[in-house]
Amino acid sequence: MPVARKKRSTKKKVSNAVLIAVAFLIIGTVGFGVYQYNVVKAWSNVIYPGVSISGEDLSGKTKDQAKKTLEQKYTNSVEKKKVNIITPDRTYTLDYSKLNPKYNIDEAVSQAFLYGKDFNAFKKYKIVKGFEKKQFSLGITYDKNPVNELIDSIEKDINKDPVNATLKISGGNITVVPEESGRKLQKDKLQKEVSSKIDESAGTDANIKAPIEATAAKITADKISSINAKISTYTTEYGSISSRERANNIRLATNIINGKVLMPGDSFSFNDVVGERTAEKGYQAAPVIIGNQIDSGLGGGICQVSTTLYNAVLRANIKSVERAHHTLPSHYVPLGMDATVDYGNLDYKFKNTFDYPIYIEGDASGGNVTFNVYTNSSLSDVVTEVKSQVYETIQPGVQYVDDPTLPDGQTQQVQAPYTGYKVKVTKRTTKNGSLIGEDVIAYDFYKPVDGVIKRGTKKPVEPPKTSEPPKISEPPKTSEPPKTNEQPQTNGKTPKS
């Protein structure tokens, strides 16, 4: 056979083989496509394999069947479930029944049914053949108020402020009382965890461990261990000059200040420490200086506490940051040595400028209020003396105000007179007997207050003059006409009528 003919025959055979292969490939592809279509089509009205909701496999179920399955498992049993919040002290439980829970079954089933339906044919086939899995969550709606109320209750039980280290002083002995750590519920974090657990734990109890953080005390035992000596003290007497209400106020404020520790650089504010003087805190109405008058006010007597503390702090060689004297002299301390306070208006402040912490001890028993200042014994050799000197006395005047409502000659005092004083206050400081400083710390001026007296100008009203009533004359007596025997003259004729 010629070579050319042989080559043509070989090429023809190869071409035929390729055509046959291509034909088989097309037939196979079309056939597999038809097979895929038929396989997938069988699942067109049901949920694809491997699709579940909250762990419940819904493969091959219609939407109605899936809905019934979930309702039987969850809806009928949801009110028996619980939210359990676990704390170190106890476990708090809240029944689902109080949440008015409702599962979003229709929405979840619709998502499960539609899953994969819009995929391409090949991806649908993979799902139908079980090569992929899909999990949906069964959403739940509920009333969050009971959850928030429970968490608020837990917060009140859990939260505990840390307790600073302090000193116990007895018979001159100073003992350090260690601090105590506090704890705080991480409320926002717990609320998020509860919400997440309720959403995820369809059909099961929600168990949550409450997140709690420890809170450290600001003042620890090691920080105040250097306090070992009393460096100043000051006492004023209030028992003989105070009403029961005033004495009560003094004791309340003194007890709040007692035990206060100031670290180096810390500032003390009387109003911040004592707080607003309110009836809810136990304060009562008592005499208080208001302007140029002594009146009754809630918390009267508090200024004797601030004044006593001021004098104790002065004698500890600590400077005031803010201090004001009264408008009128105080009778429980020398002039120029008082420190008035008025919440929201006037404050008494000082700063610990020592290299050591200070401890303030207050006591208001036995009709006396006393403050002691403690710090390191290395400062005990510093002694501070405070003196006041009145360098001018100003007598008050008297003002008279006419008052037309008061009877003439009557007077009424509306403002008592007060003598004015100009005072210089000095501080003399020595160390081991040697003078290290002498300063004027205040020039106080207690302005004189003129007395004011109302003077009546109302004249008495004179009664009207009386006169005799006019005499009334009696009417004249009437007399009967005189009787006569004469007859009218007729001349023998009859009178005409």
What does the DSSP assignment read for 142-165?
Answer: --SHHHHHHHHHHHHHH-B--B--
Residue 226: strand, helix, or coil:
coil
Q: How far is it, in rounded angstroms, from Cα 229 to Cα 373?
A: 9
The pLDDT assigned to 13 comes to 65
Q: Which of 350, 379, 408 is the last residue of a domain?
A: 379
On whether both 314 and 386 belong to a single domain, the answer is no
Is residue 236 domain-shared with residue 357, that is, in the same domain?
Answer: yes
Instruction: Give the pTM.
Output: 0.69
Domain check: are 114 and 148 in the same one?
yes
Asked whether residue 177 falls in the same domain as residue 246, the answer is: no
pLDDT of residue 10: 66
Amino acid at the residue 29: T
Contacts of 427 (CB under 8 A, 6+ apart): 314, 384, 385, 386, 437, 438, 439, 440, 441
464 alpha carbon, distance to own chain's centre: 71
Are 374 and 393 in a shared domain? no
Is there a domain that residue 430 lies in?
yes
Q: Which of 350, 362, 360 is nearest to 302 (CA)?
A: 362
Query: What tokens does 372 get?
Result: 């002691």
DSSP string, 350-413: EE--SSS-EEEEEE-GGGEEEEEEEE-GGGTTEEEEEEEEEEEEE---EEEEEEEEEETT-EEE
User: Does 26 fall in a domain?
Assistant: no
At a CB cut-off of 8 Å and minimum separation 6, what does 161 contact?
A: 182, 215
Quick count: other Cβ atoms within 10 Å of Cβ 235? 13
Tell me, yes or no, whether 58 lies in a domain: yes
- The whole-number pLDDT of residue 389 equals 97
Is 333 in the same domain as 438? Answer: no
Q: Which two tokens mark 159? A: 């939260």
Q: What pLDDT was estimated at residue 174?
A: 94
The answer as to whether 347 is a domain residue is yes
Per-residue pLDDT of the chain (497 residues; tens, 9 = 90+): 555 565 666 666 667 666 666 665 666 555 545 656 676 777 888 888 888 888 788 888 898 988 888 888 777 667 678 889 999 999 999 988 888 888 888 888 898 888 888 888 778 777 877 778 888 887 778 889 999 999 999 999 999 999 999 999 988 899 999 999 999 999 999 999 998 888 776 567 889 999 999 999 999 999 999 999 999 999 999 999 999 999 999 999 999 999 999 999 999 999 999 999 999 999 999 978 777 667 778 889 999 999 999 999 999 999 999 999 999 999 899 999 999 999 999 999 999 999 999 999 999 999 999 999 999 999 999 999 999 999 999 999 999 999 999 998 899 998 889 999 999 999 999 999 999 999 999 999 999 999 999 998 888 877 776 656 555 555 555 444 444 333 333 333 333 33
Domain boundary among 324, 351, 379: 379
Contact 444, 323 (CB under 8 A): no
Closest C-alpha to 373, from 252, 273, 235: 235
Residues in the chain, overall count: 497
**274 and 155 co-located in one domain:** no
> Residue 395: inside a domain, yes or no?
yes
The predicted structure's pLDDT at residue 34: 61
For residue 448, give the nearest of 411, 402, 416, 413 by alpha carbon.
Answer: 416
Please state, as a whole number, how many other Cβ atoms lie within 10 Å of the Cβ of residue 116: 21
How many Å apart are CA 46 and CA 62, to the nearest integer?
4
Tokens standing for residue 41: 């089509």
In a domain, residue 20? The reply is no
Q: 451 and 408: one domain?
A: yes
pLDDT at site 495: 33
250: nearest Cα among 118, 155, 99, 364: 364
Between the CA of residue 186 and those of 66, 190, 213, 278, what are the distances in Å?
A: 40, 6, 7, 32
Final residue belonging to a domain, choices 190, 224, 258: 224
> β-pairing, 82-86 with 206-209?
parallel
The pLDDT score that the predictor gives to residue 460 is 83
Rounded to whole angstroms, the Cα distance separating 260 from 219 reads 11
- What Cα–Cα distance (Å) separates residue 68 from each residue in 58, 64, 324, 431, 471? 11, 6, 80, 93, 120
Same domain, 104 and 200: yes
Query: Rounded to a whole number, what is the largest CA-CA distance in the chain?
Result: 217
- Backbone φ, ψ for residue 194 (5° rounding): -60, -45
Question: Do both 239 and 217 map to the same domain?
Answer: no
Enter the DSSP assignment of 73.
Answer: I
Determine how β-strand 368-375 pairs with β-strand 229-237: antiparallel
The answer as to whether 192 is a domain residue is: yes
List alpha helices for 350-482, DSSP H: none
Question: Does 105 map to a domain?
Answer: yes
Class of residue 391 by CB neighbours under 10 A (exposed 0-12, middle 13-18, buried 19+): exposed
For residues 363 and 396, state if they share a domain: no
- How many Å apart are CA 188 and CA 174, to the nearest integer? 43
Query: Which helix (H) or strand (E) segment is 368 a member of?
Result: strand 368-375
The domain tally of the chain equals: 3
Q: Are residues 205 and 73 in the same domain?
A: yes
Domain holding 400, by residue range, is 381-459
